[in-house]
Amino acid sequence: MSSSLTSLVPSDVKTLSEFGNFREHSNPNIAVDLQSKNLHTSSEFFFLQLVYSLSMVTLVTIFGLLGNITTGLVYLSPAKTFWHIVQRGSTEEFDSLPYVVKLLNGYMWVYYGLVKPNSILVATINGFGAVLELIYVIIFLILAPPRMRVITAILFGILDVVFPVAVVLISQLSFNREMQINISGFLSLLFSVATYGSPLSIMKTVVTTKSVEYMPFLLSFILFINGLTWTVYAVLTRDWFIGIPNGSGFVLGTAQLVLYAMYWKPKQPKRTSDNVEDDWQHEHLIADSGPSLKNNESRADA
């Protein structure tokens, strides 16, 4: 084999590498052409990589902003009910626990968004939500009946003051950044999943009563879009702390819309008065929106 290979090249060239050098030396135009093609290929690869990176950043930003909008709408959903609570001067039979837990969950997502690089969109919307939830809890502390006021104060002190402060201090003083991300992400995921009992409860009510009276379509649709948006965001950023709870929320939102399609019936007007809609809102808004509010709003986390 050696003799046959030697016969293919000039006698003064003994190796393949020398043969390559001989070709480049005897054909300089070929060497220049090869270098140009390599440079052109490298430039194309760099350009494609740059376009891909910019596209990913753009998509992440778009879905992050959409998630901020939909989550903001969910955080604002109880505002009208609380406005009526303020006007009436009492929280009546409302339970403060969902709002205390939502406030804690907002704290954890804000902390997660701050310690994890490139997650500022997670921190901003949950910071906004935490402020709203704090206002709701303060309304309970002021207007709730005495027993509920005491329970709210205890829960608020333990879950919304002592616990988050302890988490931040311990993680900052004892762990590195990677562990801080894991701790805050896991707690955010845990508190988000813990709220899923409420939408499951309202879905059970819909099936039992064969009525969607306590499951408003608009709120269910917003929760569905919110879960979908943050799930896509989580896939793009490969963030499963965000993906797991919001993916579950997307599935539950889809199930709620399916139930709505199955059990929705047009409402029959009970009175012909011109003011029937206004009277219904003022007389029954809090009683009717209460279950749906507590059971649906807790599913929209970042």
The answer, yes or no, to whether residue 134 has pLDDT greater than 90, is yes
Residue 69's identity, in one-letter code, is I
On the CB side of 145, how many CA atoms lie within 13 Å of its CA?
6
Mean pLDDT of 58-80: 90
As a whole number of angstroms, the distance between CA 136 and CA 293 comes to: 13
pLDDT category of residue 152 using cuts at 50, 70 and 90: very high
pLDDT for 201 equals: 78
**Mutual orientation of helices 120-143 and 28-76 as an angle, nearest 10°?**
10
Per-residue pLDDT reduced to its tens digit, 76-126? 988 988 999 999 999 988 889 889 999 999 999 999 999 999 899 999 999
Residues 6+ apart with CB under 8 A from 163: 104
Judged by average pLDDT, the poorest of 105-114, 186-195, 213-222 is: 213-222
As a whole number of angstroms, the distance between CA 30 and CA 44 comes to: 21
Mean pLDDT of 190-218: 81
C-beta of residue 31 within 8 angstroms of C-beta of residue 193: no
Judged by average pLDDT, the poorest of 128-142, 145-159, 189-203, 283-297 is: 283-297
The answer, yes or no, to whether residue 198 has pLDDT greater than 60, is yes
- Mean pLDDT across the chain: 77
Per-residue pLDDT reduced to its tens digit, 264-297? 877 665 443 333 333 333 333 333 334 444 444 5
pLDDT for 51 equals: 52
pLDDT for 150 equals: 95
Per-residue pLDDT reduced to its tens digit, 236-272? 999 999 999 999 889 988 998 999 889 887 766 544 3
Is the pTM for the entire model greater than 0.85? no
pLDDT for 58 equals: 81
The closest alpha carbon to 104, from 150, 166, 151, belongs to 166
C-beta of residue 137 within 8 angstroms of C-beta of residue 156: yes
The answer, yes or no, to whether residue 142 has pLDDT greater than 90, is yes
Q: Report, in this order, helix, strand and coil percent for the chain, each rounded to 5.
A: 80, 0, 20
Better pLDDT: 131 or 30: 131
The answer, yes or no, to whether residue 23 has pLDDT greater than 50, is no
Per-residue pLDDT reduced to its tens digit, 36-56? 555 556 655 555 555 555 566
Per-residue pLDDT reduced to its tens digit, 153-179? 999 999 999 999 999 999 999 999 999
| C-alpha distance from residue 148 to each of 14, 142, 206 (Å) | 95, 10, 28
pLDDT category of residue 202 using cuts at 50, 70 and 90: confident
pLDDT for 3 equals: 44
